[in-house]
Amino acid sequence: MYSLLKPCKTSAAFEAIPGERFSLDLDRCEEILQPFCTIVAHAGVLLIVNDRCEVSIHRNGKLILKTDSQEIASEQAGRIAGWLTGTPAIQKHRDLRIP
Protein backbone atom coordinates (compact mmCIF):
# COMPACT_ATOMS: atom_id res chain seq x y z
CA MET A 1 0.00 0.00 0.00
CA TYR A 2 2.86 2.40 0.83
CA SER A 3 5.71 2.55 -1.63
CA LEU A 4 7.84 5.32 -0.18
CA LEU A 5 8.94 6.19 3.32
CA LYS A 6 10.98 9.37 3.62
CA PRO A 7 11.90 11.89 6.31
CA CYS A 8 9.56 14.88 6.22
CA LYS A 9 10.80 18.37 5.32
CA THR A 10 11.92 19.23 8.85
CA SER A 11 13.35 15.77 9.61
CA ALA A 12 11.04 15.60 12.61
CA ALA A 13 8.95 12.71 11.29
CA PHE A 14 8.56 10.29 8.39
CA GLU A 15 6.12 10.46 5.52
CA ALA A 16 4.62 7.34 4.03
CA ILE A 17 3.40 7.94 0.48
CA PRO A 18 0.83 5.57 -1.06
CA GLY A 19 1.95 3.58 -4.07
CA GLU A 20 -1.30 4.24 -5.93
CA ARG A 21 -3.90 7.00 -5.84
CA PHE A 22 -6.81 6.49 -3.52
CA SER A 23 -8.93 8.38 -1.01
CA LEU A 24 -9.56 7.45 2.56
CA ASP A 25 -12.92 7.79 4.25
CA LEU A 26 -11.61 9.02 7.58
CA ASP A 27 -14.87 8.31 9.45
CA ARG A 28 -14.59 4.67 8.42
CA CYS A 29 -10.87 4.68 9.19
CA GLU A 30 -11.69 5.85 12.71
CA GLU A 31 -14.15 2.96 13.19
CA ILE A 32 -11.72 0.40 11.79
CA LEU A 33 -8.68 1.61 13.70
CA GLN A 34 -10.42 2.20 17.04
CA PRO A 35 -9.85 -1.36 18.35
CA PHE A 36 -6.13 -1.21 17.49
CA CYS A 37 -5.10 2.40 18.19
CA THR A 38 -5.91 5.33 20.40
CA ILE A 39 -7.83 7.95 18.42
CA VAL A 40 -6.12 11.24 19.28
CA ALA A 41 -8.14 13.60 17.09
CA HIS A 42 -10.44 13.52 14.09
CA ALA A 43 -10.48 16.87 12.37
CA GLY A 44 -12.46 15.79 9.32
CA VAL A 45 -9.57 16.40 6.95
CA LEU A 46 -7.09 14.55 9.10
CA LEU A 47 -7.24 11.66 11.54
CA ILE A 48 -4.59 11.32 14.23
CA VAL A 49 -4.06 7.98 15.94
CA ASN A 50 -1.51 6.62 18.37
CA ASP A 51 -0.10 3.12 18.26
CA ARG A 52 3.68 2.50 18.18
CA CYS A 53 3.96 6.21 17.42
CA GLU A 54 1.54 9.04 16.70
CA VAL A 55 0.34 9.06 13.08
CA SER A 56 -1.51 11.70 11.08
CA ILE A 57 -3.63 10.07 8.39
CA HIS A 58 -4.60 12.32 5.49
CA ARG A 59 -7.55 11.80 3.18
CA ASN A 60 -5.22 11.20 0.24
CA GLY A 61 -3.71 8.29 2.15
CA LYS A 62 -0.48 10.03 3.14
CA LEU A 63 0.76 9.21 6.63
CA ILE A 64 2.92 11.42 8.84
CA LEU A 65 4.64 9.18 11.37
CA LYS A 66 5.91 11.15 14.35
CA THR A 67 9.04 9.27 15.30
CA ASP A 68 12.78 9.61 14.80
CA SER A 69 13.09 5.90 14.10
CA GLN A 70 12.73 4.74 10.52
CA GLU A 71 12.21 1.21 11.79
CA ILE A 72 9.23 2.20 13.94
CA ALA A 73 7.86 4.40 11.13
CA SER A 74 8.08 1.57 8.63
CA GLU A 75 6.50 -0.93 11.01
CA GLN A 76 3.71 1.51 11.90
CA ALA A 77 2.91 2.27 8.25
CA GLY A 78 2.73 -1.46 7.60
CA ARG A 79 0.37 -2.01 10.54
CA ILE A 80 -2.00 0.72 9.38
CA ALA A 81 -1.91 -0.56 5.81
CA GLY A 82 -2.71 -4.03 7.12
CA TRP A 83 -5.71 -2.83 9.11
CA LEU A 84 -7.13 -0.72 6.26
CA THR A 85 -6.41 -2.86 3.19
CA GLY A 86 -9.54 -4.43 1.77
CA THR A 87 -11.90 -2.33 3.90
CA PRO A 88 -14.46 0.18 2.60
CA ALA A 89 -12.35 2.96 4.11
CA ILE A 90 -10.20 2.85 0.97
CA GLN A 91 -11.80 4.34 -2.10
CA LYS A 92 -9.78 3.98 -5.25
CA HIS A 93 -9.96 6.99 -7.53
CA ARG A 94 -11.43 5.11 -10.47
CA ASP A 95 -14.29 4.00 -8.17
CA LEU A 96 -15.05 7.59 -7.32
CA ARG A 97 -15.73 8.41 -10.97
CA ILE A 98 -18.57 5.88 -11.21
CA PRO A 99 -21.86 7.79 -10.95
Partner 1 sequence: MQKLYAGQGRHTRVIHNCELTTITGLSVSVRKIISYTSAYRASGEFALSRESSRREVFPAAGVGILARLVSLISGGIDSPVATYLMIRRGVEIVAVHMDNRPFTDDKNLDKALQLVRHLQEVTKSPIKTYVVPHGPNHVVFARNCERHLHCLFCRRMMYRVAERIAEREGAVGILTGESMGQVASQTVQNINVVNQVAKLPIIRPLIALDKQEIIEIARRIGTYEISILPGLCCTIVPKQPSTAAKLPDVLAGEGKIDIESLVEKSLEGMYVLAPEAL
Q: Which of 33, 56, 73, 77 binds partner 1 (CB under 8 A)?
A: 56
CA 66 to CA 84: how far, in whole Å? Answer: 19
Nearer to partner 1, 27 or 85 (CB): 27
For the CB of residue 86, give the shortest distance to partner 1 in the complex, in Å: 27
Kind plus residue range of the DSSP H or E element containing 6: strand 2-7
Three-class SS state of 94? helix
Q: Does 8 bind partner 1 (CB under 8 A)?
A: yes
Q: Which of 34, 40, 69, 70 binds partner 1 (CB under 8 A)?
A: 40
Q: What is the secondary structure of 22-57 as a DSSP string?
A: EEE-HHHHHHHHTTTSEEEEE-SSEEEEESSSEEEE
Interface residue list for partner 1 (CB under 8 A): 8-13, 40-46, 48, 54, 56, 64, 66, 68
